[in-house]
Amino acid sequence: MSARRLRMIALEALRILLLGAGAVVMLAPFVWMVATSLKSPSEIFAAGFSLWPEDFNAYANYARAFTEVPMLRFLLNGVIVCTGILFFQIVTAVPCAYALAKLGFRGGTIVFGMVLVGLMIPSHVPAIPLYLAFANLGLLNTYWALIIPSAVSVFAIFLFRQFFRSVPDDLINAARVDGLSEFSIVWRIVVPTAWPAITAFSIFSVVANWNDLFWPLIVLTDTALATPPLGILFFRDQEAGSDYGALMAGTTIITAPLVIVFLLAQRRFIEGITLSGVKG
Amino acid sequence: MADPAPAISAVPAKQVLKQAAPRNEPSGGKARLRDRLAGIALATPATALMLALLIGPTLAVGFLSLTDWGFGARSFAFIGLDNYAEMAGDPVFRRSLINTLVYVGVVMPVSVALALAVALLIQGGRFGRTFFRTAYFLPVASTLVAMATVWQFMLHPNLGLVNEMLRLVGLAGPNWLTDRGLVLFTLAGIGIWETIGYNMILFLAGLMAIPGHLYEAAEVDGAHRPLDKFLTVTWPMLGPTTLFVIVITAIRSFRVFESVAVLTQGGPGNASQVLLFTMYRESFVYFRAGYGAALTIVFLAFILILTLIQIRVIDRRVHYA
């Protein structure tokens, strides 16, 4: 074996050692979370370090996580809120983006200017007036209070407009000659060409809203409506206390959906999340 | 992975602004009129919602910040800049602003440097690329509130894994989340853990965009060692990406909220009070809407400054590339 080849192998070993050490730190919380969710209380409180449970207590832990708080309800709330928000965001952004990209209309420049200004405003900024409005309408502690503030996404309008601009004008003109209304052109001709953008945005939107704590914390006090992050806080503060096995079972349940989607569709997932060069 | 670069970052802001008016003006007065009416009809729902949910409330926040209004109060008085004057003398606000800047000042350089190192190491060999990329990205893909709860358990002074490990090597671990001098850095550590994967992806995209022939040319010119190649090709070519990642990380970490809300509530004392959490507490726990609005405006001002820097950086990045 030549000296050069030996050096290559040494360098590769060093690379794997460094990356491996870092990966242990990155993955430790996940491994420890799942390991603890399988352990009995006596083992969790015992001194010393063991990864694999000696007496397997997973059933009791997960059963408590599902029964002491409405864990399935939290997940369902998350699904309802994320789906609702995504539905409104797509339904409002797609036609607007098409109009901005392909139709000249009075005020288009102003609308696009609003989109660009909106991109710079974090979602926390309008919180006080929105809270006031929902309180006055008697809508606090409803799904609407969670969904409506995110019903329009300036980021979606911006992104879709970029995509729609590359749809050939000939395609649209041909559809017009065939007698399609602009409304049908949007949904039947333009949208099918923009699936990559819509998929990426959908992942971005669902991840952001599934994980959001700020707004649910403001408008919800009703445990039954809690989104997953708020639900895990309720569980920690009211039920679990120092019942770490059940608490870690709960965090595993809340984290699992997104992590599973990520592991199954890594490339799309990463594209969706890192889309947020502007908004994050 | 072909091109995981953020779609937006590839678009120079000036160019976008120039494109504002659509190119294709359909010919014929009738068609044009039909287009215009359709345009207005299609853009109206989104525009109305933008005004009602984003632009309007943001202007309202600016107005509220000039009043003494509190939630539930029947009347309010216009008090000019008194809220901002109060802020200047408010030790909690000063603490939270300094803490936020310290937090950004730790998370930004460390997470950018580590992410660059990870990206270079992943790119630098064949073995385990996909595995390591997945491992480092996993924190980004998980629910931060849940993982912060896990960190709380791991950092428990007696039961926690971290201090357990320290005991194994004979060290007494500190109270990570209740020590005044330490708590902010503990939160910054969690912030770094959460941010590395995101930045790593941006760096990997930047690395993949470097043309291979540049390395061949450098080799011909005598750069054989990895370090030489890094200094002559990789680092100069990666400069714009690095600037971009730095600014993005500053903006993201300036918004730190979840870990504080879950782990410390700004405590102990006000040792981990940060801007967004102070704004939340004044507005929605103490119901001081006027003062909360003024805090919101300060928060927005910082974000706007960072965003304007970001837009300039994007313009330069495209100029280089």
pLDDT, tens digit, 9 for 90 and up, residues B177-228: 999 999 999 999 999 999 999 999 999 988 988 888 888 888 888 888 878 8
Omega before B268 within 30 of 0, i.e. cis: yes
Fold of B82-320: MetI-like fold (1.10.3720)
Mean pLDDT calculated for residue range A106-115: 90
pLDDT tier, A279 (very low <50, low <70, confident <90, very high otherwise): very low
Q: Which of A280, A257, A156, A267 is nearest to A210 (CA)?
A: A257
Lowest-confidence pick of A240-244, A246-250, B150-154? A240-244
Give backbone dihedrals phi and psi of B25, rounded to 5 degrees, phi first. -95, 110
Q: Best residue in A111, A210, A274 to probe B by mutation, most B CBs within 10 Å?
A: A274
Interface test with A, best of B58, B153, B284 (most A CBs within 10 A): B153
Tokens for A43, please give them: 């083992």
Give the mean model confidence (pLDDT) for residues B140-152. 93
DSSP letter string, B74-117 = S---B-TTHHHHHHHT-HHHHHHHHHHHHHHHHHHHHHHHHHHH
Residues 281-310 in B contacting A (C-alpha not used; CB under 8 Å): 283-284, 289, 292-293, 296, 299-300, 303-304, 307, 310
- Is B141–A258 a contact, with Cβ atoms under 8 angstroms apart? yes
Residue B318 has pLDDT above 60, yes or no: no
The band of B31, judged by pLDDT with boundaries at 50, 70 and 90, is low
For residue B32, the chain A residues in CB contact (below 8 A) are 104
Domains in chain B: boundaries: 82-320
Window from A70-74, A104-108, A208-212, B54-58 with minimum mean pLDDT: A104-108
Q: Give mean pLDDT, residues B62-90.
A: 86
Tokens 């990895």 locate to B226
- Of the listed ranges A115-119, B71-75, B128-132, B286-290, the one predicted with least confidence: B71-75
Tens of pLDDT, residues A32-57:
999 999 988 878 877 667 777 777 88
Question: pLDDT class for B20, splitting at 50, 70, 90?
Answer: very low
Query: Is B22–A277 a contact, with Cβ atoms under 8 angstroms apart?
Result: no
B25 touches A: beta carbon within 8 Å: yes
Tokens of B65: 């910040």
Phi and psi angles of residue B78, each rounded to the nearest 5 degrees, phi first: -80, 115
Contacts of A22 in chain B (CB under 8 A): 114, 118, 136
The tokens for A277 are 């060069």
Q: Which domains does chain A have, with CATH numbers?
A: 81-230+249-274 (1.10.3720.10)
- Using CB atoms, which residue from B122, B205, B258 is nearest to A19? B122
Across residues A272-276, what is the average pLDDT?
A: 73
With bands split at pLDDT 50, 70 and 90, how would you rate the model's confidence at B28?
very low
Residue-level pLDDT at B15: 47
Which ipTM score applies to this complex?
Answer: 0.90
8 Å CB contact between A197 and A163: yes
**B-chain residues near A263 (CB < 8 A):** 134
Of the residues A44, A278, A279, the best mutation for testing chain B's interface (the one with the most B CB atoms within 10 Å of its CB) is: A278
Query: Taking the mean position of all CA atoms in its chain, how far away is CA A135?
Result: 26
Considering only residues 169 to 188 of chain A, which have any Cβ-Cβ distance to chain B shorter than 8 Å? 169, 173, 181-183, 186
Residue B13: is its pLDDT beyond 80?
Answer: no
Q: How far apart are CA A173 and CA A180, in angstroms?
A: 10
Side chain identity at B268, as an amino acid letter?
A: P
pLDDT, residue B316, reads 65
Query: Cβ(A254)–Cβ(A232) under 8 Å?
Result: yes
Are the C-beta atoms of A128 and B292 separated by less than 8 Å? yes
Which token pair is B103? 């937090």
Instruction: Summarize chain A as % helix, strand, coil (round to 5).
Output: 75, 0, 25
Predicted pLDDT of residue B7: 35
Q: Cα–Cα distance between A114 and A120 in angstroms, integer?
A: 10
Work out the pLDDT band at B122, boundaries 50, 70, 90: very high
Going by the DSSP 8-state scheme, the letter that residue A237 receives in this structure is I
Option in A99, A106, A129 nearest B42 (CB): A99
Distances (CA, A) of A39 to B154, B271, B315: 15, 34, 53
**Residue B177 contacts A where some CB pair is shorter than 8 Å:** no
Residue B26 pLDDT exceeds 70: no
Residues in chain B: 321
Are A228 and B165 inside 8 Å of each other by CB? no
Residues A152 and A197 sit within 8 Å (Cβ to Cβ) = no
Which of chain A's residues have a Cβ under 8 Å away from the Cβ of B12? none
Instruction: State whether A102 and B24 contact (CB < 8 Å).
Output: yes
Q: Is B296 close to A125, i.e. CB distance below 8 A?
A: yes
Contact yes or no for A127/A218 (Cβ under 8 A): yes
From the list B58, B132, B145, the residue facing A19 with the nearest CB is B132
Q: What is the pLDDT of residue A1?
A: 60
The pLDDT assigned to B48 comes to 95
Residue window 90-129, chain A: list those with CB within 8 Å of chain B: 91-93, 95-96, 98-109, 111-118, 120-122, 124-129
- Separation between Cα atoms, residue A12 and residue B262, nearest integer Å: 40
Q: Which residue has the tokens 């606000």?
A: B93
Which two structure tokens, joined as six digits, stand for A18?
């460094």
Residue A204 identity: F
* Rg of chain A (C-alpha set): 24
Contact (CB, 8 A) for A133 and B52: no
